Amino acid sequence: MDIQADTAQPPRPAESSVSAANKAALDALPFADRRDFEDAERGFIGTIPDAAIMAGERKVWSQKPYGFLQADAAPDTVNPSLWRIAQLNCRHGLFEVTERLYQVRGFDIANMTIVEGDRGIIVIDTLTSAEPAKAALDLYYQHRGRRPVKAVIYTHTHTDHWGGVKGVVDEAAVSAGEVAIIAPDGFMEHAVSENVIAGNAMVRRAQYQFGTLLKTGERGQVDAALGKTISRGTVTLIAPTDLIRETGETRTIDGVEIIFQMAPNSEAPAEMHMYFPSLRALNMAENTTHLFHNLLPFRGAEVRDPLAWSKYINEALELFAGRSDVLIGQHHWPVWGRERIRSYMTSQRDLYKYVHDQTLRLMNHGLTAPEIAEALVLPKSLAQEWQNRDYYGTVRHNAKAIYQKYLGWYDGNPAHLDVLPPREGASKMVEYMGGSAAIIAKAREDFRAGNYRWVAEVMNKVVFAEPDNAEARALNAEAFEQLGYLAEAATWRNAYLFAAQELRNGVAATGATASVSPDTLAALTIDMLFDFIGVRLNGPKAEGKRALINWVFEDTGQRYVLNLENSALTYVAGKNRDDADASLTLSRATLNAIFARQTTFMQEIQAGKVKIAGNPMKLMELFGLLDTFQPTFEIVEPKRQMPS
């Protein structure tokens, strides 16, 4: 279903039951506690109007669309708890945390932290893209004077913490040894691989998680929990020059001593915390935040380990909390004072441990993931702390993630072992339930009764059975919408409201052609690139075909043999075969340009940058078997065109 801008259907108002539920939430939580608002303002130095940042004529970031959040009271279309953190995330600008320690917040979803050394500065995390990173550093220079960047530290592998690096430092300065790039062990492997092999699916699903294609407003996107949303500038990457491998390792950079604590397989597969003895400051990266984090993001990822996560927080408590006067993270605002730091970290530690242990307890009683999610409730001592609220991850979906981590997708019931695909199963269910008209009539009664969860589920069955049923699509959208208005989690709200938008108006064409930036592609190893080619190979089309291709990379001296056999693509590094069908000689830079769709094999062959010996048709045949992934596949309705 294609979007038609002139006939797009607007969001509906909140139903009376939703308004009542959101008003009731005001009595359930300690809204009189305003310490977070005071902390979010503390140390403010200055900003730029609306935090507006351009890339040429294109706006890549602005807080202006969130002006509606200045209203004190939440409208009935937004959960008041979500409204609260959405207001807090509107704070933007340069802040002094303590002497020689500064943060730029609200210029992207993450923070940039700046530490002043003897002659220059250390930049910790560089936001998602280069333009906001440059604007953040320029703001610091405006108020603190220009100082050379001596080092950049990546706290972990997620793009919003390294993608802006070329807005902060020049790659030539790094290559010349003038600037160190410090990261946790395994950084490059995980930073470039996590979003490549499954990158197209992740990018599409991230639209639901962050609501990037939703209109901002009281009936649309209000926040992304860790920050407002994700900047849309140029994603860049410079490889680390120094890896931290063990807890307790220290570096002294421009006169500043840093003690590192490793925290792998926590919020990211490669992550680290750091302590600054001279500043009495602890940086917990993204492992303590002012919310309950995701154990399994809606965009997709490997399930994160809450038990390890809790242990790393506990270790940091023992190592550093007693000698820290301020705690910072790479999202949100700081926490000051030793007693508050200890209380904050203890509460976060116990949050992850409680949800882990209680999920496992109920699992061992035989409960399945949906049953555990329904039964698990935080104790009041945790639930009444703002930093533990369900803004990004939630108790319900994190419990399901833990179940998946330990037991997988199968709940042990053979009825669920080989269920029909969504469309076929939906068609049979609609038939058994007496047809779509009867289902819609009953669903309208449930909608009026406020049973939106069930209406959303059953109407989506009708949509999958009859994707052109306008009445079913409309009611499904209305149910999703009311669930979005109720949601405390920004991620849930965004997903529900985006689903409603797509049901009403179709899937919007984004114009995106690639899910991976050129810098990220260039950082992939040859093995990773060939693995990605294997994922793109259309197995059914490749049946019965064989190809053996030698690869010689003239700039790196690497040799590979790529083998197509049994509809699978494999490779061997470090050798060529005499019986190969064809042999290619090229540079890695040329291959990068081809993968980035800046050129083609044929163009580079004609230009003399790719030399082929043997049968060139074998290469053309092989690359003719590769799928091109479409970034706008359907999610809340059946696929209009299934891959062949």
Same domain, 500 and 358: no
Query: What integer pLDDT is reported at residue 352 of this predicted model?
Result: 98
Residues 239 and 188: beta-carbon distance below 8 Å: yes
Q: How many domains does one find in the chain?
A: 3
pLDDT for the residue 638: 97
Look at strands 149-153 and 272-276 and give their pairing: unpaired
The verdict on pTM exceeding 0.75 is yes
Distances (CA, A) of 393 to 105, 109, 416, 492, 551: 21, 16, 26, 9, 45
Residues 337, 396, single domain; the answer is yes
Distance from CA of residue 80 to its chain's centroid?
Answer: 24
Among the three residues 401, 429, 461, which one is the final residue of a domain in this structure?
A: 401
The answer to whether residues 487 and 583 belong to one domain is no
Q: Is 420 exposed, middle or buried (0-12, 13-18, 19+ CB in 10 A)?
A: exposed
Residue closest to 237 by CA, chosen among 516, 624, 557: 516
Could you give the C-alpha distances from 597 to 257, 289, 316, 575, in angstroms and in order?
A: 44, 38, 45, 28
Torsional sign, CA 466, 468, 472, 477: positive
- For residues 352 and 263, what is the distance between their CA atoms, to the nearest angstrom? 15
Return the amino acid letter for 82.
L
Asked if 201 and 333 sit in the same domain, the reply is: yes
Whether residue 412 is contained in a domain is answered as no
pLDDT at residue 192, as a whole number: 87
d(CA 347, CA 335): 13
Q: Is residue 634 part of a domain?
A: no
Domain containing residue 427: CATH number = 1.25.40.880
Kindly state whether residues 423 and 498 are assigned to the same domain: yes
Other C-beta atoms lying within 10 Å of the C-beta of residue 143: 13
**Which residues neighbour 197 within 8 Å (Cβ) at sequence distance 6 or greater?**
531, 532, 535
- Distance CA(305)–CA(296), nearest Å, equals 10
State which residues form the domain around 498: 419-505
> Is residue 644 a part of any domain in this protein?
no
- Neighbour-count burial of 511, counting CB atoms closer than 10 A to its CB (0-12 exposed, 13-18 middle, 19+ buried): exposed
562-619 pLDDT per residue, tens = 999 999 999 999 999 999 999 999 999 999 999 888 999 989 999 999 999 999 999 9
Inter-residue contact 54 to 112 (CB < 8 Å): no
- Name all contacts of 54-62 with Cβ < 8 Å and 24+ positions apart: 54/131, 55/131, 55/233, 55/234, 58/232, 60/129, 60/131, 60/132, 60/231, 60/232, 60/233, 61/107, 61/108, 61/131, 61/132, 61/135, 61/231, 61/232, 61/233
Shared domain for 390 and 429, answered yes or no, is no
Closest listed residue to residue 218, CA positions, set 109, 61, 82, 91: 82
Mark which of 475, 505, 535 sits at the end of a domain: 505
**Contacts for 549 with CB less than 8 Å, ≥ 6 apart:** 561, 562, 563, 580, 581, 582, 583, 584, 618, 619, 622
Determine whether 642 is exposed, middle or buried from the number of CB atoms within 10 Å of its CB (0-12, 13-18, 19+).
exposed
Q: Is 593 helix (H, G, I), strand (E, B) or coil?
A: helix
Q: Does residue 335 share a domain with residue 459?
A: no
495 and 524 within one domain: no
Residue 592 lies in a domain: yes
Which residues of the chain have a pLDDT value below 50?
1-6
Half-sphere exposure of residue 314: CA atoms within 13 angstroms, side-chain side? 11
Q: Are residues 433 and 394 in the same domain?
A: no
Residue 318 sits in a domain of what CATH number?
Answer: 3.60.15.30
Amino acid occupying residue 421? P
- Whether 550 and 576 have beta carbons less than 8 Å apart is answered as yes
392/431 same-domain check: no
For 132, phi then psi, to 5°, come to: -65, -35
Per-residue tokens: 312: 């790393």
12 in a structural domain = no
Element (H, E) at 116: strand 112-116
Q: Is residue 14 part of a domain?
A: no
* pLDDT (tens digit per residue) in 384-398: 999 999 999 999 999
Contacts with 562 (C-beta within 8 Å, 6 or more apart), sequence order: 530, 533, 547, 548, 549, 550, 551, 569, 570, 571, 622
Instruction: Assess whether 522 and 496 both reside in one domain.
Output: no
CATH code of the domain in which 552 resides: 3.30.1050.10
User: Is position 359 within any domain?
Assistant: yes
The b-or-e profile of 275-295 (16+ CB within 10 A means b, else e) is bbeebbbbbbbbbbbbbbbbb
605: Cα within 13 Å, side-chain hemisphere: 11
Residues 326 and 392 in one domain: yes
Asked if residue 577 lies in contact with residue 606, where contact means CB atoms within 8 angstroms, the answer is no
| Run of H or E residues at 530 | helix 526-536
Residues 6+ apart with CB under 8 A from 459: 439, 440, 443, 472, 475, 476, 479
Residue 331 near residue 292, CB atoms below 8 Å: no
**Secondary structure class of 303 (helix, strand, coil):** coil
CA distance 106 to 129: 14
Residue 25 belongs to some domain of the structure? no
- 414/412 Cα distance (integer angstroms): 6
CA distance 451 to 17: 10
